[in-house]
Homo-oligomer: A and B are copies of this chain.
Amino acid sequence: MIVPVAAADDARIAAFRDVRERDLVGRGGGFMAEGEVVLRLLSRHIARTGAAGAGHRLEALLLSEPQAQRLADLLAALPPDLPAYVAPQAVMDAVAGFAIHRGILALGRAHPARDAAALLDALGPRALVVAALGIANHDNVGGIFRNAAAFGAGAVLIDRASCDPLYRKAIRVSVGASLTVPFARVADASALLDLLAARGFEAIALSPAGAERLADVAPAPRVAALFGTEGPGLPAEVLARARTVAIPMAQDFDSLNVATTCGIVLHHLAEAGGKG
């Protein structure tokens, strides 16, 4: 339902105000998605999962006038009661608090927090899971989800020290993957390892001091790849309880970005047959 708005102080678009400053997730499960690629992915995801009430919900769109015209096909396929507010670019920028070059904002409500054990139970006998411990950077969390989606991971598990995958920037960097790959929080590394062991998942822990070379790893059918912060890495108690794996690097520059590391590992595990 197209709803033209002409003024930045129109109360109907108040939910889009100052999106950069607000972490909507902290306000009861709301999230903000940006751009055409993410919106189309989210729409397909909702169409697939919505009937069962299992997925996220869209609550409102805010579009610039040219984008509303370009996305006519998408808008026609959305529920008729979903408001798509259409505003001049200047009004949109004034509401959001910065220049929304893409001209597309989507306000949504997230699926309630999932249970990690239930997520693992729902996966098949061959499955790939990603676990992030202490990843406090939105770019890295977003990048990890993007890799998880690209290599068909069935779930992402994150500890409480990692940042919210549904924060606006994490959604954007993930190209929407944090909205589509199911994830759950675990209390800490110890709870994660207990959970994986109980469900028959082999835990693979990346570390420069890993005992095996990644390229040599033939993973178990159910496998979880664990990633820690770039500096300190995974804690010693995690390495002691996992299969430790290293990526060989140049002697004088032993440093990879954690999202890149994740991509390298998932590519290998997917090729080596660790997923269904």
Residues of A bordering B, CB below 8 Å: 41, 44, 139, 143, 146-147, 149-152, 175, 177, 180, 213-215, 247-250, 252-257, 259-264, 267-268, 270-271
Contact = CB atoms under 8 A, between A and B. Distances in A.
B264 A248 contact: no
A254 B215 CA distance: 23
Contacts of A149: 250, 253, 255
B147 A260 contact: yes
A270 B255 contact: no
A150 B263 contact: no
Given A250-B149, A256-B150, A267 B270 contact: no
B248 A146 contact: no
A250 B146 contact: no
B259 A257 contact: yes
Contacts of A262: 260
B256 A263 contact: yes
Given A146-B255, A150-B249, A151-B249, 8 more contacts: A147-B260, A152-B249, A215-B271, A247-B267, A257-B263, A260-B263, A263-B263, A264-B264
A213 B249 CA distance: 23
Contacts of A247: 267
Contact of A260 (B41, B143, B254, B255): B143
Contacts of A248: 270-271
A260 to B, nearest CB: 4
**Copies in the assembly, this chain:** 2
A180 B150 contact: no
A255 B150 contact: yes
Nearest to A176: B253
Pairs of residues from A and B, 10 with the lowest C-beta to C-beta distance, nearest first: A260-B263, A149-B253, A215-B271, A152-B250, A150-B249, A264-B267, A260-B260, A150-B256, A264-B264, A263-B264
Contacts of A263: 256-257, 260-261, 263-264
8 contacts: A44-B252, A143-B260, A150-B250, A151-B249, A177-B253, A248-B270, A260-B262, A264-B267
B267 A143 contact: no
Contacts of A256: 146-147, 150, 263
A119 B253 CA distance: 20
A44 B253 CA distance: 12
Contacts of A151: 249-250
Nearest to A254: B150
Contacts of A177: 253
Given A260-B143, A261-B263, A263-B264, A150 B253 contact: yes
